[in-house]
Amino acid sequence: MKKPILVSAIITLIFFGEVVFAQQSGLLTDTLISKRAQTVYVEMLGPGLTISGNYDTRFSNRRDGLGGRIGIGYIAADGNSITTIPVGLNYLLGKGKNFFEVGAGATYLNFSDNEDEYLSAEGDGVLGNLTFGYRLQPVDSGFSFRGGFSPLFGYGSFIPWVGFSFGYAF
């Protein structure tokens, strides 16, 4: 008789203990430890110059703060092509899902001009870039948007430039 009551009591304690522990664990992760923000996105213009696919992450378990990006872009038309690889550091200021982004980086370029069958040109280079803009990044997973001013500089030139991106944050 005592054995079924003891087994029932142990099962009840285990079940309710797990529920309480899970609730406390969720509370701790919500208040003390935040999930590191990561985003994949397609960018038009910006440091990738044309259209590029990118990955962005924070360097700590935070939604804001210091992070980095890397991407790759390619476009070809009329025998000409350009490949770009933008890399950079950025810092997000804000709370919730709205942030101001400031960043700096470099974009590697490789271009090929094969328009003329007798004369063709190929080359590569590096442009510096800055980023000042707005970022919509959900607290949990979901749609993200970036937009802002992304000037390019190098080889004695300063090019005012803008960029927009749409992607998924997780």
* Residues 28-43: tens digit of each pLDDT: 444 345 789 999 999 9
Which of these, 5, 33, 22, 39, lies nearest to 135 by C-alpha position? 39
Looking at residue 25, what is its pLDDT? 44
66 vs 62: CA distance, rounded Å: 9
Q: What is the mean pLDDT of residues 62-78?
A: 95
Looking at residue 120, what is its pLDDT? 59
Q: What is the mean pLDDT of residues 46-71?
A: 96
Which of these, 66, 76, 1, 78, lies nearest to 36 by C-alpha position? 66
Q: Which residues pair with 66 in a beta bridge?
A: 91
Is residue 138 pLDDT above 70, yes or no?
yes
CA distances from 12 to 6, 8, 24, 26, 103 (A): 10, 6, 18, 21, 54
| Long-range interactions of 151-156: CB distance < 8 A, separation 24+ | 152/47, 152/49, 152/107, 152/127, 152/128, 153/127, 153/128, 153/129, 154/125, 154/126, 154/127, 154/128, 155/125, 155/127
- Give per-residue pLDDT as tens, 74-132: 999 888 999 999 999 999 999 999 999 999 999 999 999 876 655 556 889 999 999 99
97 versus 16: the higher-pLDDT residue is 97
Instruction: Tell me the whole-structure pTM to 2 decimals.
Output: 0.77
Q: What is the mean pLDDT of residues 53-70?
A: 96
Looking at residue 107, what is its pLDDT? 98
